[in-house]
Amino acid sequence: MSDLTINTNLARKILTGFIHTEITRTGFSRAVIALSGGVDSSLSCYLAAEALGPENVLAIRMPYKSSSQDSLEHAQLVIDDTGIQSLTVPITDMVDPLFEQFPDGDRIRRGNAMARARMIVLYDQSSAFDGLVIGSGNKTEILLGYTTLYGDSAYALNPLGDLYKTQVRQLAGAVGVPDVIVSKPPTADLWQGQTDEGELGFTYDEVDRLLYMLVDERYRPEECVTAGFEQEFVHDVVNRIRRAHFKRVLPPIAKLSKRTVGYDFLYPRDWGT
C-alpha cells in the first residue's frame, strides 16, 4: 500500500537533468547551496556537482554558535568528496544583536531568525558567485510545514521537493553521500539536542507512509485508520497539512483590475527559455 522504494538511477537522471536545464536555460552555469551537513543538503550538493561540475557549485556552511561540531565536520566530508567550492560564514553576529533587543525571544523566534539570516547570506553569495540558489526541502517537510517561510524555503529551484525524507535517504545512499550522514538522526540544529523526530512527535518512516497514502494515493483519512494508523496521528497530520498550506502558495493579491498576477496573468516560470 505504501511502498516508497524508488529507482535511484532514474531519479538521479531526472534530477541532474532538471538542475542542469533549469540553471542553464536562464543563462546561468553555477549554483549555491546551504550545506548543513544533513542528508538533504548533502544530497543537493552531490546532484548539483554531477549536473553542473563541482567547480560550478558553492556550498556555504553557516554555523551559529550553538551549532554542533558534527554538522561542520559532516559538511566537510561532502565538500571533500564532491570537490565543490566552499565557504563558511558564521551567522552568530547577525542573529544575536536582534535578540539583544528582544532578550525574551523564544527558541522558535530564534530558530526562524537563524534560518532567515542564512537565507540573507545565501542570496548575497548567489549574487557574488553568479549562481542560482538550489534548495533542499523535501516533500515531507513541505507537506508538514516544517520549514521557515523566507528562510530555508527560499530558493530558485528545488530538486528534492517531490521526494519524501525516506526516499531522500535512499537516493543519498545511492549517489554516495557518506553513511554517517545518511544514517544520523535528522535535525534542524537550531538548538542543542534538537531532532526533527523529537520535535514532530513521530518518525519519518511512519509519517512518510501515511503522507504517501493521503497525498499520492488519495486515500481518505478514515481509510488510513482502517489500514492501521492511529486515529490521533492521522488527524494530527491532516491538520498539519492544512495549517501549513500558506507556506506552499504565493500570498494572495487582492484582485481589482481586469488582469491580475496570479489569477488571469498566467505564465510559466520558464517563459521564453
Give contact residues for other proteins (rule: CB under 8 A). Answer: 3, 5-7, 9-11, 13-14, 17-18, 21-22, 162, 264-273
Nearest distance from C-beta of residue 6 to other proteins, angstroms: 5
What is the full DSSP assignment across 18-47?
HHHHHHHTTT--EEEEE--SSHHHHHHHHH
Identify which of residues 130 and 270 has a Cβ nearer to other proteins in the complex: 270
Identify which of residues 7 and 183 has a Cβ nearer to other proteins in the complex: 7
Q: How many angstroms separate the CA atoms of 225 and 174, rounded?
A: 33
Range 69-73, long-range pairs (CB < 8 A, 24+ positions): 70/37, 70/184, 71/36, 71/37, 71/38, 71/189, 72/37, 73/37
Q: How many angstroms separate the CA atoms of 64 and 118, rounded?
A: 10
Which alpha helices (H) appear in 87-157, and where do they start and end? 92-101, 107-129, 139-144
Nearest distance from C-beta of residue 24 to other proteins, angstroms: 11
Question: Any idea which residue has 551559529 for its cell?
Answer: 64
Identify which of residues 9 and 183 has a Cβ nearer to other proteins in the complex: 9
Nearest distance from C-beta of residue 104 to other proteins, angstroms: 41
Identify which of residues 258 and 269 has a Cβ nearer to other proteins in the complex: 269
Nearest distance from C-beta of residue 205 to other proteins, angstroms: 17
Q: How many angstroms separate the CA atoms of 175 and 92, rounded?
A: 33
The number of residues in the chain equals: 273
Which alpha helices (H) appear in 136-175, and where do they start and end? 139-144, 165-175
Identify which of residues 51 and 115 has a Cβ nearer to other proteins in the complex: 51
Nearest distance from C-beta of residue 130 to other proteins, angstroms: 22
Nearest distance from C-beta of residue 257 to other proteins, angstroms: 15
Identify which of residues 125 and 136 has a Cβ nearer to other proteins in the complex: 136
Question: Any idea which residue has 527560499 for its cell?
Answer: 154
